Chain A
Amino acid sequence: DVKVTQSSRYLVKRTGEKVFLECVQDMDHENMFWYRQDPGLGLRLIYFSYDVKMKEKGDIPEGYSVSREKKERFSLILESASTSQTSMYLCASSLLGGTSGSYEQYFGPGTRLTVT
């Protein structure tokens, strides 16, 4: 079974803090993704990575950065947390896919981040 783990289920941080969210997958997937999920806004892609040290901006990258130093690990960094970044953060991974697109994604349990 594919397993995607996230470092925390719940996190409370203060405004201005630097926040690290870690994600690890154990299936040797090339692609990894970070999403945030907010009521009424669905899933929004923040960043994704298709290889080690490679990253691509998603739909809402502002205020975030990412790091992928090893294939199995993809970190999301909030450089200076703000209350608007209070959300559920979901990590996912998938095989690379082909010309028909990306294969199915496997998600972690999510991290509910509250910024006060």
Chain B
Amino acid sequence: AQKVTQAQTEISVVEKEDVTLDCVYETRDTTYYLFWYKQPPSGELVFLIRRNSFDEQNEISGRYSWNFQKSTSSFNFTITASQVVDSAVYFCALSGFNTGGFKTIFGAGTRLFVKA
């Protein structure tokens, strides 16, 4: 089965705290893509990152970093020194040949509240 699990429904932090959003996936594919998207209160989903399954290097972009561990089927997202503008719903997603080729499976999302 192809599945993406974001066990954290909501997380609340105070500004400047670090926060990690968890993502665990299941797939039969040997090669696949993993993604993170952000949906701010305005509603428009914004693509953040794509990771190919054969590339396990961690990635850092400013305050954002992603930790991909194939051995545990996890693709976690860390925001360092969180800011109020980071408040949003974050979705982890999976695409692979067995998800139907063109389809993407989204997790249920994690709502992050960052308080000033």
Contacts and interface: CB of A to CB of B under 8 A. Distances in A.
Interface of A: 31, 42-43, 45, 48, 50, 56, 58, 88, 90, 92, 94, 96-97, 99-110
Contacts, number: 75
Nearest to A99: B97
Interface in B80-102: 91, 94-97, 99-102
Interface of B: 29, 31-33, 35, 37, 42-47, 50, 52-53, 91, 94-97, 99-104, 106-109
A97 B102 contact: yes
B102 A50 contact: yes
Nearest to A4: B44
A100 B103 contact: no
Nearest to B27: A101
Contacts of B95: 97, 100-103
Contacts of B96: 100-101
B102 A48 contact: yes
B97 A100 contact: yes
B97 A42 contact: no
Which 8 pairs from chain A and chain B are nearest by CB? A101-B95, A107-B45, A101-B96, A100-B31, A102-B95, A104-B47, A43-B106, A42-B108
